[in-house]
Every structure is written in C-alpha cells, then in structure tokens.
Amino acid sequence: AQTVTQSQPEMSVQEAETVTLSCTYDTSESDYYLFWYKQPPSRQMILVIRQEAYKQQNATENRFSVNFQKAAKSFSLKISDSQLGDAAMYFCAYRTGDSNYQLIWGAGTKLIIKP
Amino acid sequence: KAGVTQTPRYLIKTRGQQVTLSCSPISGHRSVSWYQQTPGQGLQFLFEYFSETQRNKGNFPGRFSGRQFSNSRSEMNVSTLELGDSALYLCASSLGFSSTEAFFGQGTRLTVV
C-alpha cells in the first residue's frame, strides 16, 4: 500500500524568506502523480503544484517549486519570497497513474508566516 | 466557471440519525470523490464515482454510501451516525482521467452530538 509522510507538523518562516516543506512517499508503482495542496482557514483545498512521476524536470509555479527525487521517493515544496497569504496547512498527496482517482494524503504541515 | 459546490456547509446531527451531503462538480467534470478529514485520522478517501458508477472505495464501514446522478452531482449518505463521524467532508471533482487534477469544494462540517 502506498503511504505519504510529512515529518514536519509545523514550520515558520519570516515574510519574504524561503521555506522548504518535506514529503516522502512509498510506492511500488512506476506511474503516479504527486501534489501539494494548500488548505487555508477557509478549509477549501487548493492545488499548489503537481508533478508527474515520468517527468524528470521539477515542476514550478511562480514562487512555488518542487524538488522531486524519484529514487529517494522524496517530494519537497519550496516557497520563495513567502507572503502572509501563504499561511495555511500544506498537504502532500499521491495518486496512482491509473484511472481510479484516489488521493493518499500526508498528515500536513502548518506553515506560519512571521511579519 | 463555477467551482465545486458542497451543501450544506454546516450540519449538526444526533447520534443514530442519518445524513445526506451533496456535491455539485465543476461543469463537464465526470468524476467526484469524497474524503473525510478529522484531526485524529487526517484525510481519508471514502469513494469515487465516475459516470454514475462507483469506481473506487476506501476502507469505511457500510454505513457510508454514495451515489452519482446523470448530471454528475453526487451525494453521500451516512446512516446510524456515531460521534466519531464528526468531521469535515470534502468533495473533489475532476475530468476523471488519469492525467487530470482534482478541484475541491469548501466542505461540509458535520458535528454529531
């Protein structure tokens, strides 16, 4: 069975600085997708970034980028130039590459931005 | 383009009752999946529907059921509510193919007393 582990329950960063959130996963599949979702106090889960396992290039979305290490089964999220609006719970999620849409989630990391 | 709509947003029920939650996906999306979020267990997959068929099911008791209508709207039902069913229930919609991501609604906060 696949598992996702986020070992940092809480992280804090100074506004405008850079922070990295860690995620490791375990799977025997070769085709899969990885995601980072953000959940602000409004509770709505918002997709931050996605990575296809077959792509070697790390995904980037504006200030958000990932470091995808397939062999190490590691998928960390880097947030550059942190802003107050980035404060939220961040969840790492995994799904297989088949048609069944089932996300397996990490426990989440609470990100605090210090002004 | 309207997002994923979940109703109601908040619900208080008594132990032993049953409850039905509704999810309207993004227009054109054929897959709807449901997740339960609790402080203790985190986010757990309940089930996924695609074109009115349950395609995948998580490890939940039979008290949890769902269905999907021809317009892709989905409902989930929980019978004989227990205190432990108190949770945020999130619905996600997607086109339903392997390459696409899911978009979430704001959830329904269910409290069982």
SS (H, E, C) chain B: CCCCEEECCEEEECCCCCEEEEEECCCCCCEEEEEEEECCCEEEEEEEEECCEEEEECCCCCCEEEEECCCCCEEEEECCCCHHHCEEEEEEEECCCCCCCCEECCCEEEEEC
Stretch 2-41 of chain B: residues touching chain A, C-beta under 8 Å: 31, 33, 35
Is the model's pLDDT at B95 over the cut of 90? Answer: no
Cis peptide before A115 (omega within 30 of 0): no
Q: What is the pLDDT of residue B113?
A: 97
Which pLDDT band holds residue B100 (cuts at 50, 70, 90)? confident
pLDDT (tens digit per residue) in B29-63: 999 999 999 999 999 999 999 999 999 899 999 99
Distance of CA A86 to the CA centre of its chain: 13
**What is the pairing mode between strands B64-68 and B74-78?**
antiparallel
B6, B43, B53, best to mutate vs chain A, most A CBs in 10 Å: B43
- Long-range contacts of the stretch B49-54 (C-beta < 8 A, 24+): B49/B74, B50/A99, B50/A101, B50/B96, B51/B96
The model's confidence at residue B98, banded by pLDDT at 50, 70 and 90, is low
Point out which residues pair with A37 in neighbouring strands.
A47, A91
Alpha carbon of A113: minimum distance to chain B alpha carbons (Å): 22
Up-side HSE of residue A5: CA atoms within 13 Å toward CB? Answer: 7
pLDDT, residue B99, reads 61
- The chain-wide mean pLDDT, for chain B, equals 94
| Nearest alpha-carbon partner for B20 in B63, B51, B56 | B63
Q: Which residue has the tokens 């209508």?
A: B69
Chain A hits for B106, CB-CB cut-off 8 Å, are 42-44
Distance separating alpha carbons of residues A57 and A50, to the nearest angstrom:
12
Pairing, β B42-50 against β B31-38: antiparallel
- Whole-angstrom distance between the N-terminal and C-terminal Cα of chain A? 41
Each residue's pLDDT tens digit in chain A (115 positions)? 889 999 999 999 999 999 999 999 999 988 899 999 999 998 899 999 999 999 989 999 999 999 999 999 999 999 999 999 999 999 999 998 776 778 999 999 999 999 9
Minimal Cα–Cα distance from A115 to chain B, Å? Answer: 27
CA–CA separation, B17 and A109 (whole Å) = 34
Task: Check residue B4 and give its pLDDT.
Answer: 96
Whether residue B23 has pLDDT greater than 80:
yes
Backbone angles phi, psi at A72, to 5 degrees: -85, -10
User: In the prediction, which pLDDT does A30 show?
Assistant: 87
Q: Is B102 within 8 Å of A103 when comparing Cβ atoms?
A: yes
pLDDT at B1 over 90: no
Nearest to B56 by CA among A52, A18, A96, A82: A96
